[in-house]
């Protein structure tokens, strides 16, 4: 059972470079999310998508863009990476109903130098 798959698992970027983090889920979930986790800060929501074709900003969207390509895939793009974007990024999905569990990918550890 794949669940939520994120790629890559690790990445080092130079300041100013761009990259796209990929996320795919095979649970037919409507809602998908991108979080970042920094020490002492918990998980902070970057963007989310309640359904295919829709996206909305979360708590910390600046410097990021997203694309809900289809129901399965939700990508996160850093157009011009900055050291402040060094973090662990988690993608998650849920069926979008209240009281239902969100499932997480294994995370992407990104370092911007």
Partner 1 sequence: RKEVEQDPGPFNVPEGATVAFNCTYSNSASQSFFWYRQDCRKEPKLLMSVYSSGNEDGRFTAQLNRASQYISLLIRDSKLSDSATYLCVVNGRVEYGNKLVFGAGTILRVKS
Interface residues with partner 1 (CB under 8 A) are 30-31, 33, 35, 40-45, 48-51, 56, 58, 88, 90, 92, 94, 96-102, 104-107
Token readout for 41 is 């800060």
Q: How far is CA 75 from CA 32, 39, 48, 78, 94, in A?
A: 10, 24, 10, 10, 16
Q: Which is nearer to partner 1, 2 or 101 (CB)?
A: 101
The CB-of-77 to partner 1 minimum distance in angstroms stands at: 20
CA dist., res. 90 & res. 76, Å (int)? 10
Alpha carbon of residue 18 to chain centroid? 15
In the complex, the smallest distance separating the C-beta of residue 16 from partner 1, rounded to whole angstroms, is 27
Q: Cβ closer to partner 1: 35 or 64?
A: 35
Smallest distance, Å, CB 23 to partner 1?
12
DSSP 8-state code for residue 71: S
Question: First CA to last CA across the chain, in angstroms?
Answer: 35
Name which of 13 and 36 has its Cβ closer to partner 1.
36
**In terms of CB distance, is 17 or 75 closer to partner 1?**
75
């Amino acid at each position: 059972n794949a669940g939520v798959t994120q790629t890559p698992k690790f990445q080092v970027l130079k300041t100013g470079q761009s990259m796209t983090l990929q996320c795919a889920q095979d649970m037919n979930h409507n809602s998908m999310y991108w979080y970042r986790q920094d020490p002492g800060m918990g998980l902070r929501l970057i963007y989310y998508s309640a359904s295919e074709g829709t996206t909305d900003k979360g708590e910390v969207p600046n410097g990021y863009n997203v694309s809900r390509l289809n129901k399965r895939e939700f990508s996160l793009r850093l157009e011009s990476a900055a050291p402040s974007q060094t973090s662990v990024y988690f993608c998650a999905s849920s069926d979008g109903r209240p009281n239902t569990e969100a499932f997480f990918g294994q995370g992407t550890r990104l370092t911007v130098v």
